[in-house]
Amino acid sequence: MKAVVTVMLKNGVLDPQGKAIGQALSGLGFDGVGEVRAGKVIEVELAETDPAKAQAAAEEMARKLLANTVIESFKVEIAA
């Protein structure tokens, strides 16, 4: 199965990249663009076949390496 780990800066942590993207969107003429936040998506192929175990393993990976929990939050989704 595949774990899809989405890593985002925590609320309250300045995201200058998101801000710049938002300004560029407004510059392109898109109206009504509010706050933009930029993050990253990491896909991990896993040999595990039990979704609960895959979820736990991916969360452990996120805590240890994929996300820096001082500044980032993460979300794990397991796809078949």
Partner 1 sequence: MKAGIVVFPGINRERDMAIALERSAGHAPRMVWHRESDLSGLDLVVIPGGFSYGDYLRCGAMAAQSPIMGAIRAHAARGGHVLGVCNGFQILIEAGLLPGALLRNQGLRFLAMDCHLKVERADTDFTRHYQQGEVFRAPMAHGDGNYFAAPETLDRLEGEGRVIFRYATPTGEITPEANRNGSQRNIAGIASENLRVLGLMPHPEDLVDPLMGGEDGKPLFDSICAALAA
* Interface with partner 1 in residues 10-69 (CB under 8 A): 13-14, 16-17, 20, 65-66, 68
Q: Closest separation between CB of residue 64 and partner 1, Å?
A: 9
Minimum CB distance to partner 1 smaller for 33 or for 38: 38
Minimum CB distance to partner 1 smaller for 17 or for 26: 17
Burial class (CB in 10 A: 0-12, 13-18, 19+), 49: exposed
Q: What is the CA radius of gyration of the chain?
A: 16
Fill in the amino acid letter for 52.
Answer: A
Three-state DSSP at 74 gives strand
Number of residues that bind partner 1 (CB under 8 A): 10
